[in-house]
Amino acid sequence: MAKIESHIPKLRFAGFSDIWQKKKLSEISFRVQEKNKNNQVTETFTNSAERGIISQRDFFDKDISNEANLDNYYVVQPDDFVYNPRISNFAPVGPIKRNKLGRSGVMSPLYSVFRPNQTIINFDFLEHYFSTTNWHKFMFTHGDQGARSDRFAIGMATFQKMPIDIPEFKEQTKIGDFFQKIDQVIELQQKALETAQDYKKSMLQKMFPQKGEKMPKVRFDGFSGDWEEKKLKDIVVLLKDGTHGSHADGVGAYLLSAKNIKNKKVVLDKNKDRQISQKDYELIYKNYSIKINDLLFTIVGTIGESALYQGSENKIAFQRSVAIIRCNDSINPTFLLCSMDTNSISRQLMRSASTSAQSGVYLNDLASLTLYFPALEEQQKIGEFFQKLDKQIEQHEKKLENYQQLKKAMLQRIFV
């Protein structure tokens, strides 16, 4: 008698102790090859590693598929699963996602579609199984990237032999329900984050003058009158970009680049970020060392990321991709940080950005940016207001990250 292969997860719900059985994908589902005859279904879906199965128009903001060829596409019904062979950092062997749109659509024959047997497998369980990496080993063992570096190659006959460990149906349902609840919490937290971000965007429009105006629509009590118009170069003590120095791992000052400025913070990792020699730092950067409350602004690549530096002084060097903006006594640094987020500045930067292989803004263009600003007292109140909003957004981001990490940990422990 052949030995039955089985596995037991690290974490289980109370009341379940039976061994999990190994089943082939073909034993719990069947391949879907229904063609879209006479173009009966007109909506084209795509399978995104990050966003799941989504309307092609929503994903690309336009239709990519050729309507004349849609009759050759596969019909994907609600709760069908789709394998996309396109690989990415998020999906090293390609993603498998479930159609949760509640409607049918069509997908290119480049995708593989399969429909689970609902009497054998719980759809929520299977959906979250494919959120793990447990099936990747089989894919790497039996497939390859093929001739195209961005596409994973595996025959459908082989693909359907993929082994999946499953418990009895009641335990599947328990696990599926558990992860659906986590997903609901994550979705709610994502919406809370987006609401906070949208509110900030709205207040930036209302609390700063718009095009052709000299005062904002919304102000704190006690303030009135036009805001003053000036160029950035008129309100700074220092406006300087970096210079490349030679690298030396583990010694000297950190070499800060655009990638280190994220979400209004300077993010440095001593284990990953490169450093320059102390000699180069002293020779090249000594006269332009970063000071507390300097505004750091990215001017190469991703233009417009900004942060107020709050770390220790004379510890950081900086690359050409970052500009230091040091305010004079007429401007509050926190207020300037908010100003650089406005649509007015974004439009001016877009007009100035170079169109080479990597976009960038010259310091002269940055110095010529037009800003409006009120008296220092009003600047301070506005800066404090947006600081609180940024703190709230940061808290929402942290909560979302914690929930996502919890889900990741539970996926590792509950599935085999």
CA 309 to CA 79: how far, in whole Å? 49
322 near 258, Cβ under 8 Å?
Answer: yes
Q: Which of 53-67, 139-153, 182-196, 291-305 is the least confident region?
A: 53-67
The CATH architecture assigned to 1-18+167-215+377-416 reads: Orthogonal Bundle (1.10)
Q: Name the band, by pLDDT with cuts 50, 70 and 90, for residue 13.
A: very high
Q: Give the per-residue pLDDT at 40.
A: 87
Average pLDDT of the chain is 89
Q: Name the band, by pLDDT with cuts 50, 70 and 90, for residue 42.
A: confident
36 near 72, Cβ under 8 Å?
Answer: yes
Instruction: Please state the rounded mean pLDDT for residues 211-226.
Output: 94
Distance of CA 220 to the CA centre of its chain: 34
Q: Give the per-residue pLDDT at 316.
A: 75
Q: Which fold has domain 228-373?
A: Adenine-n6-DNA-methyltransferase TaqI; Chain A, domain 2 (3.90.220)
Q: Give the per-residue pLDDT at 1.
A: 40
Please report, for the chain, the start and end positions of each structural domain, with discontinuous segments joined by +: 1-18+167-215+377-416, 21-165, 228-373
Q: Give the per-residue pLDDT at 274.
A: 67
Q: Please give the angle made by the CA atoms of 199, 200 and 206, to the nearest 5 degrees.
A: 90
CA distances from residue 179 to 22, 49, 121, 175, 372 in whole angstroms, order as listed: 21, 18, 15, 6, 49
Q: Which residues pair with 112 in a beta bridge?
A: 83
Neighbours of 395 (CB within 10 A): 13
Fold match flag (1-18+167-215+377-416 vs 228-373): no
Give pLDDT tens digits for 334-378: 999 999 999 999 999 988 887 666 788 889 999 999 999 999 999
Q: Name the band, by pLDDT with cuts 50, 70 and 90, for residue 4.
A: very low
Domain 21-165 falls under CATH 3.40.50.80: no
pTM of the model: 0.85
pLDDT more than 90, % of the chain: 68
Per-residue pLDDT at 252 exceeds 80: no
